[in-house]
Amino acid sequence: MELHPVDIVISLINIAVLFILLRLILWKYVIGFLSKRSEKIRSDMDSAAKNREDAEALHTQYKQKLGELKNQGADIVRASQQKATEESDRILEDAKNKAEELISDAHARIEADKKQALEDAHDSVTELATEMAARILEREVKASDNTHTVEEFFNK
């Protein structure tokens, strides 16, 4: 294969004509396609930037809401603890009052039992005195016996 300068010139003219024809016919479409593609890429980048800003804003709101919820949770816990403390204080106060009532009832029963015991003792002493008087009257009464019996009675 030989290279002739005429073949080279014809090939160059063919390339130039083909370039000019393709440029006239396809250039608009290629430039339009590339500009649309460039616009779509710019639009996607703008949309991604906007979405990122929105996501950051939502993240900030989330952090704020989370902080608020933590504070509300802490407030609820404090309120519950305060209620529990108040309830336990009330229960303790009720228990103290009931204990005091039981103690006062026990003291009243003790006093009543004591009075009853004193009355029973008084009744017993009266019976003994009556019995003693009956014994004394059964035998001869002397002043010394009477004194001795009374002293013996009070010593017991």
Domain ranges of the chain: 5-114
Q: What CA–CA distance (Å, rounded) separates 80 from 96?
A: 24
Does this model's pTM top 0.85? My answer is no
In the predicted structure, residue 142 carries a pLDDT above the cut 70: no
Task: Decide which of 140 and 114 is more confident.
Answer: 114
Each residue's pLDDT tens digit, 83-139: 999 999 999 999 999 999 999 999 999 999 999 988 888 878 777 777 777 776 665
Task: List pLDDT tens digits, range 60-93.
Answer: 999 999 999 999 999 999 999 999 999 999 999 9
